[in-house]
Structure 1
């Protein structure tokens, strides 16, 4: 455990804490990593540390000062959030402009006004452009924290003006230890969740505390197995059903990618790093019926669909194309 109550990302913690201690706070940070890996916790903890009033910088965030208490309650007047569109889950240009106008104002009571923009990699280029002037000439009291799952769709001009912090998947051993020592998981549960998570510590903790997370995972994996085992009409029926909830496709397709990678690992004889260890029999069955190229094609098709979810596309058609690229079993 550490003072920031964040596990598995020691280098990122050290970098941010040193920047605070030496007075080298940047105006823009871009925290990057797979969903549920700990990006949001790191962003909010860093924001708390920026405005904590504890005399000893090394103890920030203290968790007890007025600023820290306001952060925990979600009522800090100098915290601003870019609101995602409730239908598409995308950050729209009007939301960015609204935050920028608030950032220009002096803080009500803190050192900094801190703005957090979630899912920034899903934003359109024109929306990102709306933020450029603020990044080029930021107010002295403003800190912007961008959160993204990847860098591919983010403009180079945004990347060059941000301090990028990559969060890597946490090792199975570290996750197992954290779940056992800090969250009271029994041995079997900790082992399974450490594997299921794929190194995403936030997901592992959520699954331990919310049993419905595992139910959702089982349902999503059942759909994947149904798609792989089914013929075209089965897959197209699935495409029709899945196309009705775009936001649900983000975590579902991310999970399907872990299954594809498990199949690839089994084909290549590398079983030690499997995520979905409870599906080993089915994974082995699929692995026997596929080639490496089949699996890579399935991975590319899934990644392409994920990357296009933020665009204005015919979602059912995109899913049908993806399923056509999935191999059929003999």
Structure 2
């Protein structure tokens, strides 16, 4: 077991959590923030393993081989409760928190602590957030709550104030590239994936291990290029298709968001930090036609669209409005 819990990056966070475990000074609630797939859940689970390991090789470490470690790694430990929205992008409901409040009153079944992992808590509705606040105030001493969220601004300030907050940052691209090469990627592929991932280890590994992800991306790139020169009728046909599958719609918006972000950087004069490095020609073509304000508007439209999809909105109308703002090339 390495000193960094076998994780890439976030050394400062691991060091702090190791000290908490070693000294017995763990807090009753932790909040791990950062972009999606940056390693929030992986760090939280590693912390849970350190808290429950029965034969740690060193203070604050975990062995990785005992029953507790194996069960935590598989997220199948009887004292690990995972709370999240049924689907990513949907709402986490108050009923789930109410059920949790009943559960935490029971003593740990097997480990020293009962670990509650609340994933993507920015997806909690207002009632669920308020219910969790009461849980934070009343949780028994043998309960440790681990929350993950995109950022603190999306949560109630009173929830944030009751947690030890760990703000995770992206892993530097060269470090991530080297890591991917250790995992078997060649120079060209590791270079592309490290940039596409934007410092998010989980996303980089997903791209490396699941070939269909890159195939899906290639399909989306071709669709995107077609839309840039499509007629209004063709755009409306595509909008109808998108509206039939909200999860695909959301993923498509995230992809567009990535391209619009690259375009904004390009127009602003930053050509080194774009994510879609294999699409420089496309981005360069768009940058000739659009100014900084127009590029920013395209980015903001996709961002707003992702937020609107979480609500009970007319998905087809949303898709049509977004596509009508697409530049024509």
**What is the TM-score with the length of structure 2 in the denominator?**
0.92
Which is worse superposed, 244-253 or 301-310?
Answer: 244-253
**2:136 is the counterpart of 1:135:** yes
Kindly indicate whether the alpha-carbon contact (under 8 Å) linking 2:115 and 2:143 is maintained by their aligned counterparts in 1: yes
**Distance change >3 Å, CA 286–CA 192, structure 1 → 2:** same
* Partners of 1:82 and 1:118 within 8 A in 2: yes
User: What's the counterpart of residue 30 of structure 1?
Assistant: 31
Q: Secondary structure at the match of 1:217?
A: helix
Distance 1:126 1:76 in 2: 28
Aligned match of 1:195: 195
For 1:240 and 1:27, the matched residues in 2 are separated by 47
Match for residue 283 of structure 1? 283
- The answer (yes or no) to whether the contact 1:198–1:258 under 8 Å persists in 2 is no
Distance in 2 separating the partners of 1:244 and 1:119: 25
Is 1:329 the counterpart of 2:328? The answer is yes
Two-structure CA RMSD over aligned residues (Å): 2.1
Match in the other structure for 2:315: 315
Give the whole-Å Cα distance in 1 for the aligned partners of 2:176 and 2:51: 28
Alignment map for 1:134-153 (pairs within 5 Å):
134-153=135-154
CA contact (8 A) 2:57 2:63 kept: no
Unaligned runs of 5+ in 1: none
Number of aligned residue pairs: 328
Question: How far apart in 2 are the matches of 1:144 and 1:250?
Answer: 29
- Alignment CA distance shift 1:239-1:162 (3 Å): farther
How far is 1:57 from its partner? 4.8
Distance apart, 1:176 and its partner CA: 0.9
Distance 1:10 1:250, change over 3 A: farther
Residue matched to 1:65: 66
Kindly provide the CA deviation profile for residues 212-237 of structure 1, in whole angstroms up to 9, marking residues without a partner as x. 11112222333333334434333333
Distance in 2, matches of 1:176 and 1:312, equals 40
**Structure 1 residues 73 and 151, CA, compared in 2 at 3 Å: closer, same or farther?**
closer
Question: Residue 152 of structure 1: SS of its match in structure 2?
Answer: helix
Deviation, structure 1 residue 286 = 0.8
Change (3 A) 1:66 1:150: same
